[in-house]
Structure 1
Amino acid sequence: MSVPVEMGNPSRFQRFRQSDFWYYFKRDKVVIVSFLIFCVFVLAALFAPWLAPNDPYDLASIDIMDSELPPVWMDYGDPRFWLGSDEQGRGIYSTILYGLRTSLAIGIFAVSLQMMIGVVVGLVAAFYGGWLDNLLMRITDVQLSFSTLMVAIIISALFKTAFGAEFFAANAVLILVVIIGVAEWPQYARTIRATALSEKSKEYVEAARVMGFKPIRIMFRHILPNCLSPILVISTVQIANAIMSEAALSFLGLGMPPDKPSLGSLISNGFEYLSSGSWWITLFPGLVLVILTLVVNLLGDWLRDVFNPKLYKG
C-alpha cells in the first residue's frame, strides 16, 4: 500500500519552480538567451576533442603549407578549415574550441582561488575586528590601489624571471590561475567583510558563541552560508574579468605560449598578420571572446539585481 505524498511538503524541484529566482528568470528573454549561449560555450569547450575537425596539439597533422588559408566561403578556401587557418596551419575553428577550453578553465579556477583567499580574509577581518581587521583591510586597500593588470604583469614577470621561460610555458595554465587569483581576491574580501559584519551581530551568532563553538565553525558553518548571495554575484562577474585578464596577458606575451591555444593567445598571434590581410586569425577568436564576456556580464548583472530587490524592476 503506497503512502500518499503530503501536499504541504513540496519537493526541491517544486520549490525551485515556485521561487522568485525562476519566476524572474523565465520572464527575462535576454538572460535566457545569455544563459543558453554560455551553456553552448561550456559544452563546446568540454567536447572540443570530439567537435574539432583538427587537433591543434597534434604536430604530425599540422602542415605549414596550410598556413593563412582564408575561410571556406572565400577564394582559395579549404573545406578542411571552415574559418580558415592560422600562421601555423592550424584550423581556426579547432583552435577556438581548444582555446575556449583553456580560457574557461583559467577563468573558473582563478575565480575559485580568488574566492578562497578573499572569503577567508573577509571573514577573519569581520569576525575578529580590531588591529587584525585594520591590518588585513590596509593590505587589501594597497592591492586595490594597483590595477589588476599591473599586478598580474608584475607577478607574471617574476615567475618568468625566477623559473625561466620554459617552465612558464610548460605550466602556463596553473601559473595564470595563480597570477589572476592573487591579483583579484580583494574584491571578495571587501564584500564578504561588509556582509559578515552585519551577520556578526545577529542572534544566531551570539547563540553559537554561548554554546561554545569554535570561531572557525562559527565563521564557516554559520556566517558564511548567509553570505553566499554576494559571493555568487561576484563570482559570475569575476569569471568574465579573469578571462579578459588572461586574454590581455596573452596579448602582451605574458600568458599562454603561441603553441597552446587560448582566446588571448589566438588574438595575439593573429594581430601580427592583420597587415598581410589574414584578418580571420584575429577576428573570429576576438568575436568569441567578446560574446563570452558579454553573456557572462549580463548574467552577473541580472543575478546582482535579483538578489537585491531594491534594484530589480523585473
Structure 2
Amino acid sequence: MRTIKLGTSTLEVPVVAVGCMRIESLDLQQTERFIQTSLEIGANFFDHADIYGGGKSEERFAEAIHMNPSVREKMMIQSKCGIRPGMFDFSKEHILNSVDGILKRLQTDYLDVLLLHRPDTLVEPEEVAEAFDQLESSGKVRHFGVSNQNPMQIQLLKKHVKQPLVANQLQLSITNTTMISQGFNVNMENDAAVNRDGSILDFCRLHDITIQPWSPFQYGFFEGVFLGNDKFPELNQKIDEVAAKYGVSNTTIAIAWLLRHPANMQPVIGTMNIERLKDCCKAADIRLTREEWYDIYRSAGNILP
C-alpha cells in the first residue's frame, strides 16, 4: 500500500484508513478475518472513536485480534473523543478520562493519534493544551489532531497547544464537495461560491495537516451512497466508464478520485465487507488523469464557472 506522511509527523501511514465505526456489527470470527485481511494488504491504520458502538467497537476490535504487544506493533490506531450525549466536551478532565477509557477498551498502552471529534464552542484551549501535554508526556498519545474543524477553530487551539495537529477529519466525497467547489466559484453569485468552512482545504495544505475524508461514498448527511444510486445516473455512468478503463470497480474509482487531489488525503473507509475493502485499497495504485477527475466532478452535478 502506498503511504504518505501524516501531517508534519514522521508517521508513515497508508493512503487508505480503515474506519471501525461499524465493526461491532461483525461477530468475533468475522472481525478477526476483516482485520487480518486489512493488515495483509497494507491497510494497517485503524480509525476508532469512543462513541462508536458506545465503546463496544473498540472492545470488539481488541478482543477479536487478541491484542498484545506483538499484534499492536503491526498497526497504527487512531481514536477520537469529545462527543457526549447532547453536547461536546473538550475539557481537560473529559479528554483525559476518555483516553483512559479508549486505551482500556483497546487493550493497549498508547494511541498513535488522538483526534478531537467535533468542535466544542465552550472549549478552553489552555485546558486542551494541558491535557495534550499530559497525554504526550505519559506516552499515552503520540500524535494529535482534530475532526470537523475550520481554520479559525484550529488557530484558536494552536494559540496554546504546542503539539502539531497532524490531521483533520472532514466530510468529503464526490457528491459532498463544498470545500472544493467554493474554490472554483470565487466571487460568483451562486450557491457553490458560499464559503462554508473558512477555506479549510487550502488551510490544511498550507499548514501540512492531512485531511481524512469521512463517508467517501455518502451523499448528504448519511442519506445514502451514490454508487449504483438512481439519483445519480450521469455520475454512475461516468464512474463506470472510468472503472472499465482501469479494469477495477466503481468503488475503487470513487476513492481514486479523492486520492488524485494533491492535498495527499487519507480517506477513511467504513465498509465491513472484505471485497469492498480490497477494492478501496486498489485505489492507491491508480492515478486518474486531470480530465477524468474533472469529468467525474462535473457528472455529479458540480458546476464550473
- Ranked by relative contact order (alpha carbons within 8 Å, sequence separation 6 or more), the top structure is 1
Structure with bigger gyration radius:
1
TM-score if structure 1 supplies the norm length? 0.28
TM-score if structure 2 supplies the norm length? 0.29
Q: Could you say which structure has the higher strand fraction?
A: 2
